[in-house]
Amino acid sequence: MIARYLGRDGFLKSNNLWSLFLVFYFSSSALASVKDGVDAYSQQSYEQAFSIFKDEAAKGDATANYYMGLQYEEGNGVSKDPVKAFGFMSEAANHGIAKAQYKLGVFYEEGFGVPVDLSKSAQYYKAAAEQGLPAAQFNYALMLRDGLGVKKDEASAIIFMQRAANSGDAEALNGLGVAYILGRGVRRDAVKGVQFLKLAAEKGDPGAQRNLAKSFSDGTGVEKDERKAFEWYKKSAEKNDKVAQLALGQAYEYGVGVEQDYANALVWYKRSASSDYAPAQYKIGYFYNVGKGVAPDFEKARYWFGLSADHGLAIAQTDLASLLESGQGGSIDNAAAAKWYRLAAAQNMPRAQYQLAVMLKEGRGVERDYAEAILYFRALAAEKVSYAENELGNMYRHGYGVSQDYSAAIEWYWKAANQNDDAAFANLSLVYQKGLGVPQNLVVSYALLKCALSIKPGGEAYKKALNLTLRGLSDKQSMEGEKLSPQICREKSVAVSNYLK
């Protein structure tokens, strides 16, 4: 091209020399401006960088557009503006800037400055991935693995994950490790999986450190070693991995891989909870509820259970409801208790389903509804939950929501008693005492009540009922009852049938 500025004699003409100077001056000036902007940005001189990038972006410079998008995304040197960030990043991506394509993938995935569109997110991740950007290769692999925005393809996911891992990307190495351990997209090979986890963990990836800790804890792909599990959990926890912090708290709570220490357990549960992690919030509530390592404090238990319950954790919803129902840590609020029991019951939490059924039966905190109560009791009884079987016996005995049927009541009581449910034995004692569907027999009644008391020795109501029953027995009958009781406790209804023959 320089020949265009030469005269016929081969010498530069003065006016052409000036033109050539201007070409080189402005080209190098423009390049220097973008470079100066990058240098200013790296030195956190964001306002200076923004001023430079703004001018160059207006001229269509792709790199400047990328950095403009970055500054609007992060709010560095300018007010954060998702829409403008998306606009500038789009311009850079259209010029093939891989990092900008990756960012658009993130924006579309998270709905930053644009509506969520997983299909477009996958397209941009793929475009950047095919240019060799490890972060994009990893994210595109995840979308292929889970079928997000693209057809699920675990084998292709492994290909992109491997490409990212080949670049030394720690997250990708961790992802490969998990894939081999679980057998997702590859033949299951836990030993190989742990090797990848170790590579990522040694690079400091907290997720890999946590997964490696779990492998040592479970003995998956490596010899079980609770001490090493603790050490890797600690490394991850110190990098603020909330799941590892929870696991570390559990290690201290139960003395696994480290000496049991409730105080330290609570410290790590609180660190995990500071990330708004529901399981950790529940554990703190549990410690205050039962007085584990701290003095019991039901008010604090309510607070922590409440935080966890708001995230939808069923056990937290159940325990919060229990405190509201009992009035521990505050006033009794049966309506609120019923609400939380119902939410937990919808997640198939047995204790919540049972307590809600009892409240429905009693009309406490909710409108009385025998039919719905029976539905819950039956569902639990199908899973052989003894206290639900006992309650079904009560419903049939009283005719609550069903036709009164003593035979059905006795059948359900025995099902519960076969699982050593003390209340069922007490109800069977009442049945024989009053002769409800069976011949009245005070000896059998006495023996059954003794069984209930043997299961629950501190049952004051049982003791009182036993003394009242004993007053109606002769010395001979009381001796028969004493002899019969251990047989019934062992053999249940068979012992009663044999005695009554």
Residue 145 contacts by C-beta under 8 Å, 6 or more apart in sequence? 152, 154, 157, 161, 179, 184, 185
> What's the pLDDT at 1?
35
Residue range 363-404, pLDDT digits in tens? 999 999 999 999 999 999 999 999 999 999 999 999 999 999
Please choose, from the candidates 323, 339, 320, 343, the residue with its C-alpha nearest in 3D space to the C-alpha of residue 331: 323
Measured CA to CA, the distance from residue 175 to residue 358 in angstroms comes to 47
> What's the pLDDT at 23?
36
> What's the pLDDT at 33?
85
The mean predicted confidence, pLDDT, of the chain is: 94
pLDDT of 14 over the 50 cut: no
pLDDT of 4 over the 90 cut: no
> What's the pLDDT at 5?
30
Rounded to the nearest angstrom, the gap between the alpha carbon of residue 276 and the centroid of all alpha carbons in its chain is 11
Sign for the pseudo-dihedral over CA of 160, 161, 166, 172 = positive
pLDDT of 419 over the 50 cut: yes
Neighbours of 220 (CB within 10 A): 16
Measured CA to CA, the distance from residue 16 to residue 6 in angstroms comes to 8
| Span of 24-33, 89-98, 422-431 with lowest mean pLDDT | 24-33
**Do the Cβ atoms of 417 and 428 come closer than 8 Å?**
yes
Residue range 332-349, pLDDT digits in tens? 999 999 999 999 999 999
Residue range 281-340, pLDDT digits in tens? 999 999 999 999 999 999 999 999 999 999 999 999 999 999 999 999 999 999 999 999
Residue range 241-271, pLDDT digits in tens? 999 999 999 999 999 999 999 999 999 999 9
| Six-digit token string for 212 | 């490696």
Provide DSSP, 358-406. HHHHHTSSS---HHHHHHHHHHHHHTT-HHHHHHHHHHHHHTSSS---H
> What's the pLDDT at 27?
41
What 3-state DSSP class applies to 6? strand
Residue 232's pLDDT band, with cuts at 50, 70 and 90, is very high
> What's the pLDDT at 492?
98
Higher per-residue confidence, 4 vs 171: 171
**Percentage of the chain with pLDDT > 90?**
93
User: What are the φ and ψ backbone dihedral angles of 6, each rounded to 5 degrees?
Assistant: -95, 140
> What's the pLDDT at 25?
38
pLDDT of 408 over the 80 cut: yes
Question: CATH homologous superfamily of domain 392-501?
Answer: Tetratricopeptide repeat domain (1.25.40.10)
Sign for the pseudo-dihedral over CA of 116, 118, 121, 123 = negative
Provide DSSP, 22-36. HHHHHHHHHHHHHHH
The pTM score is 0.84
Span 59-80, average pLDDT:
96
Span 4-28, average pLDDT:
37
pLDDT of 146 over the 90 cut: yes
Rounded to the nearest angstrom, the gap between the alpha carbon of residue 165 and the centroid of all alpha carbons in its chain is 27
In the DSSP assignment, the letter for residue 12 is: B
Where are the alpha helices (H) located in 255-313, listed in sequence order? 262-273, 278-290, 298-310
Where are the alpha helices (H) located in 44-153, listed in sequence order? 46-58, 62-74, 82-94, 98-110, 118-129, 134-146
Residue 442's pLDDT band, with cuts at 50, 70 and 90, is very high
Residue range 454-470, pLDDT digits in tens? 999 989 999 999 999 99
> What's the pLDDT at 29?
42
